[in-house]
Amino acid sequence: MRSAAKKAAPAKKAVAVGSAEKKAAGAKGAEKKAAAVKKIAVRPPSGESSTALVRRARRINRELAEVYPYAHPELDFENPFQLLVATVLSAQTTDLRVNQTTPALFARYPAPEDLAAADPEQVEEILRPCGFFRAKTRSVIGLSKALTEDFGGEVPGRLEDLVKLPGVGRKTAFVVLGNAFGRPGITVDTHFQRLVRRWRWTEETDPDKIEAAVGALFPKSDWTDLSHHVIWHGRRICHARKPACGACPIAPLCPAYGEGETDPEKAQKLLKYEKGGFPGQRLKPPQAYLDAGGKPAPPLGAA
């Protein structure tokens, strides 16, 4: 029996080593995923040269910058931790719903250490209005534990560190980097994907490839504001089902003009948020947004 036990020991050690190797391989995989997406060739629409595509894309961004000079992230936040959590919660729901939900969450759990030690059932009850509240509870508690244990309770300012956190992908990481740390990044959400294909900036459908293709059209310093301009336009005018083409300021530059309502009066009725006189997504928007006629969103449960 003793002899058998001695023979079994090396096998157990081998399993442990194998597990360590798998863990190291997983870490390397995460680092590779976090690395900058390899640049891909820009394929302009038929009949448009690469140079013409770059000029048209940059002109669209300039026009949108004039329409939305106050464009900003539409999630309420006061620090990187709040923005990180809010962005994770925004998956498959609206920023408005997240903004209506997070005040209670952050009042009860203001720091990563607090949320890391939270009772999951109590967090689930707060996050219920956001949808998928059980999965989102696991993500925000998990990332809070990782921040506490691995980063001293601070949100890291590097892409390769952010994407290692539970529930955090490239899109979420770039939102945090661009808006909490001032580091340029392209946020490829559903609005961004829809519009850049509609404008024929790219035919790619994979978010990482879209990020690379669109990034090649603009200087890196433009990436964060570009993301805001495109997303704002997608939410306010260039809607998925019925774009308000007749009220679009970039209609002459859009290859997809005519897919939506072209009559100016009818198109005007399709506008959302400040363009249509409705409240925006944030409960506490920047002053520039209010000065431009934007209205703050109502809190959760308000009539």
* Active-site residue set: 171, 189
Q: Which residue in this structure is represented by tokens 């959590």?
A: 85
Alpha-helical segments (H) within the chain: 2-34, 50-67, 80-89, 95-108, 112-116, 120-127, 133-150, 159-162, 170-180, 190-198, 207-215, 223-236, 264-268, 287-291
Q: Is 281 within 8 Å of 99 (Cβ atoms)?
A: yes
* 177 burial type by CB count under 10 A (0-12 exposed, 13-18 middle, 19+ buried): buried
| Burial per residue of 262-282, b for 16 or more beta-carbon CB atoms within 10 angstroms, e otherwise | beeeebeebbebbbeeebbbb
Q: Are 115 and 141 in contact (CB under 8 A)?
A: yes
Q: What is the largest CA-CA distance in the chain?
A: 90
- CA–CA separation, 269 vs 275, rounded Å? 10
284 closest CA partner among 293, 300, 295: 295
